Amino acid sequence: MISIEKYGNLDWLGSNIIIVGDYAVDFKKSRISRGEERIKLEPLAMELLCYLVSRKGEYVSQRELLKNVWGGRVVSDNAIRRVVKKLRDALGDEPRDPKYIKTVPNKGYLLIADVVIDEHQPIPPIPKTAIEADQNETSSTDLKTFQSKQPQPVTKTSDKHKTRKLVVLTLLTVFALIFALYLLSSTVFKSDDTVSITSLMSMPGEEHWTDYNAQNSAIIFSHRKTANGFFDLYLRTADKHTIRKLTNGGANHNAPSWSNDGKKIAYQRQLGDKAELVILSISESMKVEKSEVIYSYDSLQPSLDWSPDDSSLYFAHRQSIDHPYSIFSINITTREITQITFPNIGNLGDYAAQFSPDGRFLATFRYLRYGLVHLIIVDVTRGKILSDRKVESTPITLSWNNKSTGVYFSTKGKLHFFNNEKQSFTSLPIEGYELKSVFAHCGNDCLIANTADDNNRDVKELANPFFSSENDQLDFFELPMLGDEGHPIYSNDPDEVVFRAVIKNTSQIVSYSAQVGLEVLTQFDRGYRINNLQFNPKQDLVLGLQEEQIFVLDVGTGNIEFVSKQMENAQRPNWSDDGQSIYYSRRELGTTALIKYNLQSGEHERLLENIIEAKEDKGGRHIYLLNNDGELHKAQIGNLEQSKFIGNIPIFSNISWHIFDHTLYYSAPEGKNFTLNKIDMQTKQTTTIPWLKNTYYAKFELHSSGKKLLLLQENTPSTELVEIRNL
């Protein structure tokens, strides 16, 4: 790590605590404090703050940060933005109204908060060689003009600042004593119970599905360099310096799993919706001696684990599209297939199955519906379910601890542990890291996991590929990168978008336009699941789902009204053309029922069965009805029983369909690729073009001109494999 010691020895700090804005900064202890609040910073965030303080009043480019904070290591722009965001979050700083760190377009970052230091301990100057290359890229005239507009470094402490500094130091001393007494008296945590995280490797791109084998101390993992690239398999040997690529593109190579004896690696090779179970035989020199396909099937669910005796593989599979995923086993000698779990649900089903190290228990996640997942633990020897517990959000993977007493998993960036003996959940704080998945145990109180860049998807605007833009000068939104975003829609102003964004770890509904910028429309106090946003065509009302409950947000007042009950499990709400009614579907009497809600009277009217979504056309004369079989029909308002068939549309929740100018547009999956399709409803002519590659999500919104599309797209992935110890 590069620290401020590079620019001047830390002795210049002495025992003083520097004041940056409202915070007291202790560089040596890597923490900031304000009143009773004490925040520990991860090393890179503190390195960044240290460097910004030393460059107070000057812009700092990403290139300069790479050289002086990251020590010249090759990292993505997202990695830099992630650390900047963590520092801003710690300081309570808002990018759109900054009080500490200002982003200067095409320049970099600027520390704008006051910095209070002793006049006898000035900030050491940065050696010219550290910054001259960056400044050479800007003319001297431009640089002087820019710097003259910025706050200049503080070199003398005012009486007011001295008083504030004395108060802060006194408070810090008092709270340090209180905290020390608490640690001595606490029976909950021991002083050596600090969870530590160490980076295993940091390759440009995304690492996922990782397994560790104690027999040869080797790690196998899947990796891809780009958001639309294929996952390949890589092996890191025991010397921790050799990484060997085992596969070469053409398909996704997912869910690698070591056999218990360390002599074989099984994985799933997936291309589109076709999958193969492959076994690699590994030599003592850790090279592939043999590759064998033992089973071919249709699946989009990567999940794989060896049986305790290495005779079988356990994987997620479903017999048909009408069946949920279940856990199956295949005997690698006889190829006999056996169903292990039998979920009685009509959705995703069981996934991520893994045996405990002693072979007694099998754990799996059971996806019941959006946001509702249960952890199932089965006693294999007795065939008895020991646990069936709801977990927070939707975890991707799980891992037993080495003692076979419980299961680790991660949701919403946090690490969780389920103790199978005590039947209880515990959340473990992991400061400074955003965990994505937990993969395998690596010894006593040790896990292998990956951390994620929290800005993995962004709202983007693209040209409609069915429109020729040669004669059109289309302006596209350049949206701020907030992190976790979703469900973008256009408002009644075609130059404004509305979407869900996570702000301070809580989902909110926000609007954005080039004229106004970002505006937060809600003030939710916890992280609700928000989706299916729709803007009222006649007034400033936003329709959406919060935890499967329909709400209407008044943009002007911020008031929210719920128009359905959560136990209804409402789906796919849409406005009527006049903005006075809402169509939605719900499960009822073994099928789906189409419901119409009148905004003024508050009445619910049951219209039809076997309909999952309804949309009115412009003018409100006709309605388009999508049934459970994926058939789209057109009917007149008031005569819904008499309808005309338009075409077939996939009914998956990750695609969209829209009517524009007598044309039906819809996205459709082909494995992990998506096509964009249009049907001319007058001529019945259908046109299909390839669209999005190797992704999971293809929901889009049409601009009022029909020439642009609004959608979510994955950014270049940025994850890092880490080792977690002292659990």
**How far apart are the C-alpha atoms of 719 and 223, rounded to whole Å?**
10
Phi, psi of 595 (to 5 degrees): -115, 140
Span 74-130, pLDDT tens digits: 565 667 877 888 898 889 888 878 889 988 766 788 899 888 764 444 444 444 333
Residue type, 34: R
Flag whether pLDDT at 370 surpasses 90. Answer: no
pLDDT for residue 372 is more than 60: yes
Q: Can you say how many angstroms the Cα of residue 291 is from the centroid of all Cα atoms in its chain?
A: 34
**The pLDDT of residue 12 is above 50:** no
Regarding predicted confidence, which is higher, 7 or 462? Answer: 462
Cα 383 to Cα 49, 324, 374, 377, 390, distances in angstroms: 56, 21, 18, 10, 21
pTM of the model: 0.60
How many whole angstroms separate alpha carbon 310 and alpha carbon 259? 6
393 close to 350: Cβ distance less than 8 angstroms? no
Average pLDDT over residues 136-160: 35
pLDDT at 142 over 50: no
Of 392 and 208, which is predicted with more confidence?
208
pLDDT 10s digits, 596-632: 999 999 999 999 999 999 999 988 999 999 999 999 9
Q: Which residues sit opposite 605 in a β-bridge?
A: 596
Residue 189 pLDDT > 60, yes or no? no
Cα separation values, 41 from 47, 88, 91, 461, Å: 9, 11, 10, 36
Q: What span, in angstroms and rounded, lies between the C-alpha atoms of 629 and 633?
A: 11
Are 295 and 274 in contact, with CB atoms under 8 Å apart?
A: no
CA-nearest of 16, 41, 359, 337 to 168 is: 16
Neighbouring residues of 717: CB distance < 8 A, sequence distance ≥ 6: 205, 206, 224, 226, 227, 453, 456
Percent of residues, the chain, with pLDDT higher than 70: 82
Radius of gyration of the chain (CA): 28
Q: How far apart are CA 147 and CA 131, in angstroms?
A: 15
Highest mean pLDDT of the ranges 583-592, 599-608, 713-722:
599-608
| Mean pLDDT confidence for 216-233 | 89
The residue that leads in pLDDT, 578 or 444, is 578
Average pLDDT, the chain: 81
> What percent helix, strand, coil does the chain show, rounded to 5?
10, 45, 40
**Confidence label for 667 from pLDDT (cuts 50, 70 and 90):** very high
pLDDT tens digits for range 39-61:
888 878 888 888 888 888 888 88
> Residue 153 pLDDT > 90, yes or no?
no
pLDDT of residue 641: 86
Q: What is the pLDDT of residue 118?
A: 45
Helix axes 43-54 and 77-91, enclosed angle (nearest 10): 80
pLDDT of residue 173: 53
pLDDT at 363: 97
| pLDDT reported for residue 202 | 67
Task: Check residue 2 and give its pLDDT.
Answer: 28
Q: Where are the beta strands (DSSP E) in 474-590?
A: 485-490, 496-503, 506-513, 517-520, 530-535, 541-546, 549-554, 560-562, 571-575, 581-588
Between 144-153, 195-204, 486-495, the lowest mean confidence (pLDDT) is in 144-153
pLDDT band, very low/low/confident/very high, at 495 (cuts 50, 70, 90): confident
Q: What is the pLDDT of residue 164?
A: 53
